[in-house]
Chain A
Amino acid sequence: MPSLSRRFVLKSLASGVALASNHLVFSSAARTMPTQKTTDTFVVHNDLPWALETRRSQFGFSPITPASHFFVRNNLPMPSESETSVGDDWVFEVSGCERDGQLTLAELKRMKTHVVASVLQCSGNGRDFFPHDPSGSQWSVGAAGCALWTGVSVADIFERFGGVKAGMSYLTATGGETLPEGIDKETVVVERSVPLEKGLEDCLLVWEMNGAPLSAVHGGPIRLVVPGYFGVNNVKWVRQLAATQTESTAKIQQSGYRFRPEGESGGPQHPSMWRMPVKSWLNGPGADSTPVLAGPNTLYGVAFSGERGISAVELSADNGQTWQPAELVGPDLGPNAWRTFQLSTTIPVGEHQFVSRATDAMGDRQPRAAEPNHRGYGHNGWEDHALTGGSCVGVTRAAATSARGDPVCSHCCNPRGVPQCCLVRSGNRR
């Protein structure tokens, strides 16, 4: 593959410095990490409410992200353990149907069940790449994951209560977070609306994630899954499920999560963060400054497009001047899942930068640059998502091998003018 331009190497190095400083600030959580999750796997942007970003190097090759590696973005602190630990006794209200009522999780589990694979991605994933420094967690690529969700369709739930009343246009779900006293509920409540047509088409109330009970940190006992839509719509700890005439009047719906120009306040006139556009990025090898042995390697990453699925992914080593087709691998889990892609190639010694560009099943191709917007939402530009790093040759000690017999390389160094794999990094290693 062609060599890299100096400009992009310098840009990537600058980006790495920014990331490094971010990691230093949030190098450890002040609170105990949620069950199964460790700080080795995540960048801790915030510990109350949790904002945990999966490190790029921690994404696997499988199209499913395990719960231990799945990002967390909570808008408010979770409900108390005494509330979320009730399991099958969890109760939620249903309204906007011919009959209003309530259901427990136990009753839900006796209804017809579906399993769907769907990507969850925070609206602000990629915010770190926007040059205008929008406020909020500075997510890079890791505020996203793909899981199998088990639950009951919203359409079946509404049908159980006689079907949706005439004149309803939205599915509105309300989270069960405890709200503070002394503050207008509408200001902070997590309540989101999506078009009712979407809600009745494929939305689910789920209680399993990848075959295991949905953990509290991911919204258990029950959360909404809106396949193909940005994470905020997938309301956790659902206490109310309603068909409504209008969108929720909560701030998070009316003015929050609205795609608008820089400097403008959000409002109903701006598009809501609903369907996720086509996007891809590379996860390896070499993410998070891990060294790459020069020579034959397999580049890999993920691609998705809400409700559409992926038809092709291309890779480039010269920042988009030339492209090579990547191979889609693993099972196709449907239009809302992500696909892993790979390309075997030879990586020369030195600094490198690779980019990926996905095309979805309707022909939409990932753009080079994201559309600037005030809050730094929806970044899907391929250029900013470049995978950068260094590759080197050999090992300094022949005996240095892993348990599998593979060469061990802790970092690339440059003692004699040629990048070599070295075993001990001088100075502090992040």
Chain B
Amino acid sequence: LSDQAIAGKQLFLQQAQPGCGVCHSLADANAGGVVGPNLNTLAPNLDQVRSAIAQGVGAMPAYGAQLSANEIEALATYVVEATR
């Protein structure tokens, strides 16, 4: 993982509320949520993750108000790198 992705992993695991792993599965984070898409299966691109975090998608809430632009970028980078 890049430095940015490592920072994003911490956001994934600890900072974002509700936590990403509550709903999503992601092997690298040992997350097993089954509400939202399995991120390993979805393997989204950077734009998709960035947009989903900032705006929300369907039942997923937006995190734009609680995460900074840099944090969103780091979190999106982590999801992309962890699923490639």
Contact = CB atoms under 8 A, between A and B. Distances in A.
A188 B35 contact: yes
B16 to A, nearest CB: 12
A183 to B, nearest CB: 4
Contacts of A60: none
Given A135-B48, A135-B52, A183 B37 contact: no
A252 interface: yes
Contact of A135 (B22, B33, B38, B55): B55
Nearest to B47: A133
Contacts of A49: 36-37
A75 interface: yes
Given A135-B51, A183-B22, A188-B35, A30 B41 contact: yes
Interface in A345-367: none
Interface SS majority for chain B: loop
Contacts of A252: 59
Interface string B1-44: 00000000000000000110011000000000111111001110
B62 interface: yes
Give the interface centre of B52, B56, B59, B61 by most chain A CB atoms within 10 Å: B59
Interface residue tally on B, bucketed by range: 20 to 34
Contacts of A179: 35
Interface in A315-336: none
Contact of A77 (B18, B35, B56): B35
Interface in A227-286: 251-252, 256, 265
Given A30-B41, A77-B35, A182 B58 contact: no
A109 to B, nearest CB: 31
Nearest to B50: A135
Nearest to B48: A135
B35 A190 contact: no
B47 to A, nearest CB: 7
A180 interface: yes
Contact of A256 (B18, B36, B47, B58): B58
B34 A48 contact: yes
A180 B58 contact: no
A256 B56 contact: yes
A135 B53 CA distance: 10
B58 A75 contact: yes
A265 B62 contact: yes
Contacts of A211: none
A285 to B, nearest CB: 33
Nearest to A265: B62
A101 interface: no
Contacts of B69: none
Interface string A52-95: 00000000000000000000000111000000000000000000
Nearest to A135: B51
B62 A184 contact: no
A406 B43 CA distance: 42
A374 B59 contact: no
Contacts of B23: 180, 183, 188
A143 to B, nearest CB: 12
Nearest 3 pairs between A and B by C-beta? A135-B51, A183-B18, A30-B41
Interface of B: 18-19, 22-23, 33-38, 41-43, 47-48, 51-52, 55-59, 61-62, 64
23 contacts: A30-B38, A46-B37, A47-B37, A47-B38, A48-B41, A75-B58, A76-B35, A76-B59, A133-B47, A133-B51, A134-B51, A134-B55, A135-B51, A135-B52, A135-B57, A179-B35, A180-B23, A181-B22, A182-B18, A187-B18, A188-B23, A188-B59, A190-B59
